[in-house]
């Protein structure tokens, strides 16, 4: 049962016989014509259940979603629906092309037009209540009953009339791919309780003890993670109306929930709701892979996070100001990582200064748009990232490092899904300065391997719910460095250190490491019961370390095809080696080639080209997810 939808949505179902027979009984003039007209449309391919739901309401406005569920046995290819308010008016929308100024019409975007039997598509909206309560109008359209009409978007349309999906808005995440769809309640305990996660309802996990879970192909939040949120969020329902428990008044809704006027996001990544996942398989059916890149959505094909690294704060190309990036982000990804701004020196520039404003803005942006955050990184040796005061610290180094870890981890507790707690502590195979196989960093010099143990212990104390990862590069090689990484995690586990998983950066070359070695490395970690996350995936087309490798000075068709195949194989290896419950997800290290830290090599390692157009690599990634 979906308590949320039952309590807050009005639904038009196919074959509304009461209305039909009432109309048939009318025998005179215009009434007969209207009835005939209605029936003509009503009987045309009535194939969907169309619902209008409110997810969040405050004094002057509300947000919600319209969900179209294909109840027929054939695919819906393209949709067009409509609705009309008495008092409310639309102020923005996302993930659909909306026209009119009451009544309104909405049609699909390129990537969410196909709805397979039993599957759902949602798009979101925000309304101005204009002094009324949040209305729940009937949704009409040939697929769900009734006709669609919309007033032309004329010059009389108010300035706040519906914006297109690319318009910037800020809102809560009711329509995210993790939103509560009717069958996603399967993961909730029998109590009927759910998790109100900063204004969005998610199922509570049944077996996952902490953090986010992906049980039965559905996203869920563990009870401990859910209850770690500040009031008024947390576990709701189970006897009382869930809907009413999330209808936050403006006085109780923090600004991060009530839509703000600051324009920081354009669309919720609704795509195909999570309810479409078959419960018996962790991979979506390959038939759901659309043939064209425009209709692809990576996150709709996976039951684990699909992430991307983004820039923010004062960096050039901040995702917060780029509608092109946001468009790609919301279509394909449901998790983000700060490429830089959550690293040590950004957040802790001097001993007594912590600087969270930029990271807070990014985390809020993620939360408002239904994205989770993988945070990177609490401790990293890289010289420019070690705050200067730490390099020459003469006081109690462990105490100082504990303050560093715990101040940051506590600040983001409940707001990030996971942390790279320690990044790149293991020495390269060729590192002449290595000590016992570890990088001779200031942290190792001061504390030995204990800095790693303590970092996890401290992070766990400050944020007991986030998944805690050890992250490194060239550990997917199945060679001596992989062995040192495995020895480290074995030692951590033997000492009872709270580590949840291993992050493989995976900045790989076109021909190295081999897929067999990558798979074996993943498998070795998975066999230890830890989560495996690909944290920074990019696939270069040049191997500048191999003089006999081809040299590409542009992304040729051949190079792009080879890169696509490499992406496919890596994703497929991940699925083969890592059991569903241990998949921490796959994150690509940037959205489009121009953002890549290898762009100046030159190279083109990402999924979208310099014009944000999908590359063959995107389809390769998708094919890896679907087993094609
Ligand atoms: C890189 C960023 O992509 C660059 O923008 C920055 O100049 C340097 O750091 N391993 C990591 C990441 O863990 O933090 C690095 O990110 C890439 C290598």
Ligand 1 touching residue 474 (CB < 6 A):
no
CB atoms within 10 A of CB 290: 18
pLDDT (tens digit per residue) in 574-583:
999 999 999 9
The predicted structure's pLDDT at residue 251: 28
Contact residues for 485 (Cβ-Cβ < 8 A; gap 6+): 426, 470, 472, 475, 502
Closest atom of ligand 1 to CA, residue 473: 10
> From the CB of 340, is ligand 1 less than 6 Å away?
yes
Which residues lie below 8 Å from residue 187, measured CB to CB, with a gap of 6+?
203, 204, 205, 206, 213, 215, 216, 218, 219, 220
Candidate of 316, 345, 537, 589 to mutate for ligand 1, largest count of ligand atoms within 8 Å of Cβ: 589
Rounded (5°) CA angle 122-247-185: 50
Percentage of the chain beyond pLDDT 90 is: 57
Query: What token pair was written down for 614?
Result: 């999908």
Q: 597 C-alpha vs ligand 1 centroid, how far in Å?
A: 7
Asked whether the beta carbons of 152 and 100 are under 8 A apart, the reply is yes
- pLDDT at position 57 is 65
Which residues, at least 6 apart from 147, have a Cβ–Cβ distance to it below 8 Å? 37, 38, 41, 82, 140, 141
Q: What is the pLDDT of residues 427-439, one digit of tens each?
A: 999 999 999 999 9
pTM of the full predicted structure?
A: 0.61
pLDDT above 80 for 311 = yes
Q: Are 197 and 223 in contact (CB under 8 A)?
A: no
Higher local confidence (pLDDT), 54 or 20: 54
423 lines ligand 1 (CB under 6 A): yes
**Strand 372-380 relative to strand 418-423: parallel, antiparallel, unpaired?**
parallel
Question: With contact defined as beta carbons under 8 Å apart, do 373 and 339 qualify?
Answer: no
The residue ranking higher by pLDDT, 318 or 383, is 318
Between the CA of 536 and the centroid of ligand 1 the distance, in Å, is 9
Report the mean per-residue pLDDT for the chain.
Answer: 78
Nearest to 538 by CA among 484, 494, 597: 597
pLDDT at 204: 81
Spacing, Cα 598 to ligand 1 middle (Å): 10
Bridge-partner residues for 307, per DSSP?
335, 587
Half-sphere exposure of 98 (CA within 13 A, CB side): 29
So what's the pLDDT on residue 174? 27
CA distance 291 to 101: 34
Q: Kindly state the average pLDDT of the residues 183-210.
A: 60
Active-site annotation, residues: 424, 536
Cα of 461 from ligand 1 centre, angstroms: 27
Inter-axis angle of helices 480-494 and 515-526, to 10 degrees?
10
pLDDT at 379 over 80: yes
pLDDT of residue 256: 28
pLDDT at residue 224, rounded to an integer = 75
Ranges of H-type helices in 382-449: 388-391, 397-411, 442-447
242 or 408: which leads in pLDDT = 408
**433 class by beta-carbon count within 10 Å (0-12 exposed, 13-18 middle, 19+ buried):** exposed
Confidence of residue 285 (pLDDT cuts 50, 70, 90): very low
C-beta of residue 559 within 8 angstroms of C-beta of residue 517: no
Distance CA 20, CA 261 (A): 43
Ligand 1 centroid to Cα of residue 450, in Å, is: 25
Q: What is the pLDDT of residue 60?
A: 77
Dist. CA 193–CA 239, nearest whole Å: 8
Q: Is the pLDDT confidence value at 12 over 70?
A: no
Q: Which atom of ligand 1 is nearest to the CA of 471?
A: 13
Looking at residue 198, what is its pLDDT? Answer: 54
Ligand 1 neighbourhood includes 339 CB (under 6 angstroms): yes
Query: Does residue 42 carry a pLDDT above 50?
Result: no
Which range is most confident: 31-35, 44-48, 171-175, 470-474? 470-474
Instruction: Please name which of 210, 200, 313, 309 lies closest in space to residue 256, comparing C-alpha atoms.
Output: 200
Check pLDDT > 80 for residue 516.
Answer: yes
Helix (H, G, I), strand (E, B) or coil at 22: helix
Q: Which atom of ligand 1 is nearest to the CA of 590?
A: 3
| Cα–Cα distance for residue pair 412/419, rounded to 1 Å | 10
pLDDT at 595: 95
Q: Residue of the nearest CA to atom 15 in ligand 1?
A: 339
């Amino acid at each position: 049962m979906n308590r949320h939808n039952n309590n807050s949505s009005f639904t038009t179902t196919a074959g509304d016989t009461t209305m039909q027979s009432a109309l048939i009984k009318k025998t005179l003039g215009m009434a007969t014509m209207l009835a005939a007209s209605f029936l003509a449309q009503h009987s045309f391919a009535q194939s969907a259940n169309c619902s209008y739901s409110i997810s969040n309401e405050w004094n002057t406005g509300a947000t919600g979603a319209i969900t179209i569920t294909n109840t027929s046995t054939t695919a819906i290819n393209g949709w067009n629906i409509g609705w009309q308010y008495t008092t409310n008016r639309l102020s923005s929308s996302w993930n659909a092309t909306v026209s009119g100024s009451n009544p309104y019409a909405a049609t699909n975007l390129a990537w969410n037009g196909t709805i397979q039997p039993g599957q759902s598509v949602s798009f979101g909206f925000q309304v101005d209540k204009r002094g009324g309560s949040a209305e729940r109008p009937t949704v009409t359209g040939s697929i769900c009953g009734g006709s669609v009409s919309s007033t032309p978007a004329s010059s009389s349309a108010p300035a706040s009339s519906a914006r297109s999906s690319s318009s910037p808005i800020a809102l809560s995440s009711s329509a995210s791919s993790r939103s509560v769809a009717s069958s996603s309640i399967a993961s909730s305990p029998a109590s009927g309780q759910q998790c109100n996660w900063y204004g969005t309802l998610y199922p509570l996990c049944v077996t996952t003890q902490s953090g986010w879970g992906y049980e039965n192909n559905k996203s869920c939040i563990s009870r401990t993670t859910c209850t770690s949120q500040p009031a008024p969020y947390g576990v709701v329902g189970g006897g009382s109306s869930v809907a009413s428990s999330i209808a936050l008044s403006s006085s109780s809704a923090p600004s991060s929930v009530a839509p703000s006027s600051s324009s920081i996001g354009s669309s919720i990544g609704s795509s195909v709701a999570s309810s479409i996942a078959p419960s018996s398989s962790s991979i979506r059916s390959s038939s759901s892979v659309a043939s064209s890149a425009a209709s692809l959505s990576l996150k709709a094909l996976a039951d684990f996070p699909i992430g991307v690294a983004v820039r923010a704060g004062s960096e050039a190309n901040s995702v917060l100001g780029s509608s092109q990036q946001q468009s790609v982000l919301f279509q394909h990804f449901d998790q983000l990582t700060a490429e830089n701004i959550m690293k040590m020196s950004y957040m802790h520039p001097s001993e007594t200064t912590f600087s969270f404003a930029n990271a807070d803005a990014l985390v809020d942006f993620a939360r408002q748009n239904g994205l989770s955050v993988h945070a990177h990184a609490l401790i990293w040796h890289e010289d420019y990232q070690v705050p200067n005061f730490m390099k020459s610290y003469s006081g109690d180094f462990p105490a100082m490092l504990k303050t560093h870890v715990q101040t940051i981890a506590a600040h983001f507790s409940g707001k990030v899904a996971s942390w790279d707690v320690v990044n790149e502590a293991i020495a390269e195979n060729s590192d002449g300065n290595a000590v016992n196989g570890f990088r001779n960093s200031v942290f190792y010099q001061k504390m030995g391997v204990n800095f790693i143990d303590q970092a996890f212990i401290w992070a766990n104390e400050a944020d007991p719910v986030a998944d805690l990862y050890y992250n490194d590069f060239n550990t997917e090689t199945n060679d001596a460095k992989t062995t040192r990484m495995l020895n480290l995690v074995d030692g951590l586990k033997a000492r009872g250190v709270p580590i949840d998983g291993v992050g493989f950066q995976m900045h790989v070359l076109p021909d190295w490491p081999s897929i067999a070695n990558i798979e074996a490395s993943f498998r070795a970690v998975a066999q230890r019961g830890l989560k495996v996350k690909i944290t920074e995936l990019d696939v270069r087309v040049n191997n500048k370390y191999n003089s006999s490798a081809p040299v590409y000075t542009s992304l040729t068709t051949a190079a792009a095809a080879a890169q696509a195949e490499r992406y496919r194989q890596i994703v497929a290896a991940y699925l083969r080696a890592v059991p569903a419950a241990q998949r921490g997800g796959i994150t690509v290290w940037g959205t489009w080639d121009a953002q890549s830290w290898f762009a100046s090599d030159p190279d083109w390692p990402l999924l979208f080209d310099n014009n944000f157009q999908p590359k063959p690599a995107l389809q390769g990634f998708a094919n890896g997810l679907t087993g094609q």
